[in-house]
Chains A and B, each alone.
Chain A
Protein backbone atom coordinates (compact mmCIF):
# COMPACT_ATOMS: atom_id res chain seq x y z
CA UNK A 1 0.00 0.00 0.00
CA UNK A 2 0.93 3.62 -0.27
CA UNK A 3 0.69 4.49 3.42
CA UNK A 4 2.44 3.51 6.65
CA UNK A 5 1.36 0.07 7.78
CA UNK A 6 1.50 -1.14 11.39
CA UNK A 7 0.84 -4.58 12.81
CA UNK A 8 -0.73 -5.91 14.85
CA UNK A 9 -3.51 -3.33 15.18
CA UNK A 10 -4.43 -4.75 18.57
CA UNK A 11 -2.36 -6.75 21.00
CA UNK A 12 -3.34 -8.06 24.42
CA UNK A 13 -0.45 -9.29 26.54
CA UNK A 14 -0.21 -10.70 30.02
CA UNK A 15 2.10 -8.81 32.33
CA UNK A 16 5.62 -10.10 31.87
CA UNK A 17 5.22 -11.17 28.26
CA UNK A 18 7.39 -9.82 25.47
CA UNK A 19 5.74 -8.09 22.50
CA UNK A 20 6.95 -6.99 19.07
CA UNK A 21 5.25 -4.26 17.05
CA UNK A 22 6.01 -3.85 13.36
CA UNK A 23 6.07 -0.74 11.18
CA UNK A 24 6.24 -0.72 7.39
CA UNK A 25 6.99 2.89 6.34
CA UNK A 26 6.27 4.53 3.02
CA UNK A 27 8.77 3.20 0.48
CA UNK A 28 11.82 5.43 0.16
CA UNK A 29 11.17 7.45 3.31
CA UNK A 30 14.44 8.13 5.08
CA UNK A 31 13.24 8.94 8.59
CA UNK A 32 11.14 6.80 10.89
CA UNK A 33 9.72 7.73 14.28
CA UNK A 34 8.02 5.79 17.06
CA UNK A 35 5.60 7.53 19.43
CA UNK A 36 3.61 6.32 22.42
CA UNK A 37 0.14 7.75 22.91
CA UNK A 38 -1.69 7.23 26.18
CA UNK A 39 -5.46 7.57 26.28
CA UNK A 40 -6.53 11.19 25.90
CA UNK A 41 -2.96 12.46 25.44
CA UNK A 42 -0.78 13.61 22.59
CA UNK A 43 1.89 11.35 21.10
CA UNK A 44 5.10 11.11 23.16
CA UNK A 45 8.37 10.70 21.26
CA UNK A 46 10.15 7.38 21.76
CA UNK A 47 12.86 7.03 19.13
CA UNK A 48 14.05 8.17 15.69
CA UNK A 49 15.83 6.40 12.84
CA UNK A 50 17.54 7.89 9.83
CA UNK A 51 17.81 4.96 7.43
CA UNK A 52 19.14 2.13 9.61
CA UNK A 53 20.84 4.38 12.16
CA UNK A 54 19.04 5.01 15.44
CA UNK A 55 19.95 8.65 16.00
CA UNK A 56 17.81 9.39 19.04
CA UNK A 57 16.39 6.98 21.59
CA UNK A 58 16.00 9.49 24.39
CA UNK A 59 12.26 8.88 24.70
CA UNK A 60 12.41 5.13 25.38
CA UNK A 61 10.99 4.84 28.93
CA UNK A 62 13.23 2.00 30.11
CA UNK A 63 15.71 -0.60 28.98
CA UNK A 64 12.76 -2.92 28.42
CA UNK A 65 12.07 -0.99 25.22
CA UNK A 66 14.16 -1.70 22.15
CA UNK A 67 13.75 -0.62 18.53
CA UNK A 68 15.52 -1.58 15.34
CA UNK A 69 15.45 -0.85 11.62
CA UNK A 70 18.17 -3.14 10.31
CA UNK A 71 17.81 -2.51 6.58
CA UNK A 72 16.56 1.05 6.72
CA UNK A 73 13.00 0.09 5.89
CA UNK A 74 10.79 -2.00 8.20
CA UNK A 75 11.14 -1.23 11.90
CA UNK A 76 10.25 -3.26 14.97
CA UNK A 77 9.57 -1.94 18.46
CA UNK A 78 10.08 -4.62 21.08
CA UNK A 79 8.90 -4.38 24.66
CA UNK A 80 10.25 -6.97 27.09
CA UNK A 81 8.54 -8.05 30.30
CA UNK A 82 5.51 -5.84 29.65
CA UNK A 83 3.99 -3.89 32.52
CA UNK A 84 0.49 -2.43 32.85
CA UNK A 85 1.86 1.09 32.39
CA UNK A 86 3.00 0.06 28.90
CA UNK A 87 -0.64 -0.05 27.79
CA UNK A 88 -0.98 2.59 25.08
CA UNK A 89 -1.22 3.10 21.34
CA UNK A 90 2.16 2.90 19.64
CA UNK A 91 2.34 5.07 16.54
CA UNK A 92 4.90 4.84 13.79
CA UNK A 93 5.53 7.70 11.37
CA UNK A 94 7.80 8.13 8.38
CA UNK A 95 9.21 11.25 6.76
CA UNK A 96 10.51 11.55 3.23
CA UNK A 97 13.73 13.32 4.15
CA UNK A 98 16.20 13.25 7.03
CA UNK A 99 15.09 14.86 10.28
CA UNK A 100 11.62 15.59 11.60
CA UNK A 101 10.96 18.96 10.03
CA UNK A 102 8.90 17.57 7.19
CA UNK A 103 5.43 16.09 7.19
CA UNK A 104 5.04 13.01 9.34
CA UNK A 105 2.94 10.27 7.76
CA UNK A 106 1.47 8.15 10.54
CA UNK A 107 0.22 4.61 10.58
CA UNK A 108 -3.01 3.71 12.33
CA UNK A 109 -1.11 2.55 15.40
CA UNK A 110 -0.84 -0.64 17.43
CA UNK A 111 -3.01 -0.65 20.55
CA UNK A 112 -1.31 -2.60 23.33
CA UNK A 113 -3.24 -3.69 26.39
CA UNK A 114 -1.29 -5.31 29.20
CA UNK A 115 -3.39 -7.27 31.68
Chain B
Protein backbone atom coordinates (compact mmCIF):
# COMPACT_ATOMS: atom_id res chain seq x y z
CA UNK B 1 0.00 0.00 0.00
CA UNK B 2 1.37 3.37 -0.97
CA UNK B 3 1.31 5.94 1.83
CA UNK B 4 2.26 9.59 1.82
CA UNK B 5 3.26 11.25 5.09
CA UNK B 6 3.21 15.01 5.33
CA UNK B 7 4.93 17.20 7.89
CA UNK B 8 4.41 19.32 9.76
CA UNK B 9 0.73 18.76 10.33
CA UNK B 10 0.15 22.38 11.31
CA UNK B 11 2.18 25.52 10.71
CA UNK B 12 1.38 29.00 11.99
CA UNK B 13 3.68 31.81 10.86
CA UNK B 14 3.83 35.56 10.36
CA UNK B 15 3.58 37.23 6.99
CA UNK B 16 7.00 37.53 5.35
CA UNK B 17 8.48 34.35 6.85
CA UNK B 18 9.78 31.44 4.81
CA UNK B 19 8.61 27.87 5.30
CA UNK B 20 9.07 24.35 3.99
CA UNK B 21 6.62 21.46 4.12
CA UNK B 22 7.47 17.87 3.37
CA UNK B 23 5.89 14.85 1.74
CA UNK B 24 7.56 11.47 2.30
CA UNK B 25 6.94 7.88 1.32
CA UNK B 26 8.71 4.54 1.36
CA UNK B 27 7.34 3.91 -2.14
CA UNK B 28 8.60 5.20 -5.47
CA UNK B 29 6.17 7.37 -7.41
CA UNK B 30 6.23 8.08 -11.12
CA UNK B 31 5.04 11.58 -10.27
CA UNK B 32 3.77 13.60 -7.34
CA UNK B 33 1.22 16.36 -7.35
CA UNK B 34 0.73 19.24 -4.90
CA UNK B 35 -2.73 20.65 -4.29
CA UNK B 36 -3.96 23.55 -2.17
CA UNK B 37 -7.39 23.47 -0.55
CA UNK B 38 -9.23 26.39 1.00
CA UNK B 39 -12.16 25.98 3.41
CA UNK B 40 -15.37 24.95 1.68
CA UNK B 41 -13.61 24.29 -1.60
CA UNK B 42 -12.15 21.30 -3.40
CA UNK B 43 -8.36 20.94 -3.79
CA UNK B 44 -6.76 22.81 -6.69
CA UNK B 45 -3.64 21.58 -8.45
CA UNK B 46 -0.50 23.66 -7.94
CA UNK B 47 2.12 21.55 -9.70
CA UNK B 48 3.09 18.08 -10.89
CA UNK B 49 6.68 16.89 -10.50
CA UNK B 50 7.78 13.99 -12.66
CA UNK B 51 11.57 13.67 -12.84
CA UNK B 52 13.75 12.72 -9.85
CA UNK B 53 15.63 15.80 -8.66
CA UNK B 54 13.27 18.13 -10.50
CA UNK B 55 12.72 21.65 -9.17
CA UNK B 56 9.72 23.69 -10.25
CA UNK B 57 8.97 27.27 -9.32
CA UNK B 58 5.59 28.91 -9.20
CA UNK B 59 6.11 32.55 -8.19
CA UNK B 60 7.10 32.35 -4.51
CA UNK B 61 6.55 28.57 -4.32
CA UNK B 62 9.39 26.14 -5.05
CA UNK B 63 8.66 22.43 -5.42
CA UNK B 64 11.31 19.73 -5.39
CA UNK B 65 11.03 16.02 -6.20
CA UNK B 66 13.56 13.80 -4.48
CA UNK B 67 16.22 12.02 -6.53
CA UNK B 68 14.73 8.65 -5.64
CA UNK B 69 11.18 9.87 -6.37
CA UNK B 70 10.03 8.95 -2.87
CA UNK B 71 9.70 12.41 -1.41
CA UNK B 72 8.95 16.00 -2.25
CA UNK B 73 9.07 19.39 -0.61
CA UNK B 74 7.31 22.71 -1.00
CA UNK B 75 9.13 25.88 0.00
CA UNK B 76 7.28 29.20 0.26
CA UNK B 77 9.30 32.40 0.31
CA UNK B 78 7.96 35.50 2.04
CA UNK B 79 4.59 33.98 2.91
CA UNK B 80 1.46 36.07 2.46
CA UNK B 81 -1.93 35.78 4.16
CA UNK B 82 -3.31 34.52 0.86
CA UNK B 83 -1.11 31.43 1.18
CA UNK B 84 -3.26 30.21 4.08
CA UNK B 85 -4.77 26.82 3.35
CA UNK B 86 -4.34 23.05 3.42
CA UNK B 87 -1.44 21.83 1.30
CA UNK B 88 -1.80 18.27 0.05
CA UNK B 89 0.61 16.03 -1.80
CA UNK B 90 -0.73 13.19 -3.89
CA UNK B 91 0.65 10.35 -5.96
CA UNK B 92 -0.28 7.04 -7.47
CA UNK B 93 -0.60 5.04 -10.65
CA UNK B 94 -4.27 4.52 -11.43
CA UNK B 95 -5.68 6.48 -8.53
CA UNK B 96 -4.29 9.41 -6.61
CA UNK B 97 -3.57 8.79 -2.93
CA UNK B 98 -3.39 11.90 -0.78
CA UNK B 99 -1.38 12.69 2.29
CA UNK B 100 -3.12 14.08 5.37
CA UNK B 101 -1.94 17.57 4.48
CA UNK B 102 -0.19 20.49 6.14
CA UNK B 103 -2.52 23.18 7.41
CA UNK B 104 -0.81 26.54 6.99
CA UNK B 105 -1.97 29.73 8.69
CA UNK B 106 -0.21 32.97 7.74
CA UNK B 107 -0.94 35.87 10.08
CA UNK B 108 -0.60 39.57 9.19
Contact across chains for A104 and B40 when beta carbons are under 8 A apart: no
Contact across chains for A45 and B96 when beta carbons are under 8 A apart: yes
Chain B 80-108, CB-CB to A under 8 Å as 1, else 0, gives 00000010101011111111110100000
Contact across chains for A101 and B41 when beta carbons are under 8 A apart: no
Given A41-B101, A42-B100, also A101-B93 (CB < 8 A): yes
B25 at the interface (CB under 8 A from A): no
Chain A 17-60, CB-CB to B under 8 Å as 1, else 0, gives 00000000000000001010000111111001000000110000
Contact across chains for A101 and B43 when beta carbons are under 8 A apart: no
Contact across chains for A91 and B42 when beta carbons are under 8 A apart: yes
With A and B bound together, what is the CA distance between A45 and B42 in angstroms?
A: 14
Contact across chains for A33 and B96 when beta carbons are under 8 A apart: yes
Contact across chains for B41 and A108 when beta carbons are under 8 A apart: yes
Which A78-99 residues have a C-beta within 8 angstroms of B?
91, 93, 99
Contacting residues, chain A, for B35 (C-beta < 8 A): 104
Which B25-50 residues have a C-beta within 8 angstroms of A?
30-31, 33, 35, 40-45, 48
With A and B bound together, what is the CA distance between A104 and B94 in angstroms?
A: 12
Contacting residues, chain A, for B41 (C-beta < 8 A): 106, 108-109
Which B54-91 residues have a C-beta within 8 angstroms of A?
86, 88, 90
Interface positions of A (Cβ within 8 A of B): 4, 33, 35, 40-45, 48, 55-56, 91, 93, 99-101, 103-104, 106-109
Q: Lowest 10 CB-CB distances: which A-B pairs, in order?
A: A106-B42, A42-B98, A42-B100, A100-B95, A100-B96, A42-B101, A103-B45, A43-B98, A48-B95, A42-B88
Interface positions of B (Cβ within 8 A of A): 6, 30-31, 33, 35, 40-45, 48, 86, 88, 90, 92-101, 103
Told that A104-B90, A106-B42, A108-B40 touch, could you supply 15 new A-B pairs with CB distance under 8 A?
A: A42-B88, A42-B100, A48-B94, A55-B94, A56-B95, A91-B43, A99-B93, A100-B92, A100-B93, A100-B95, A101-B31, A101-B93, A103-B33, A104-B96, A106-B43
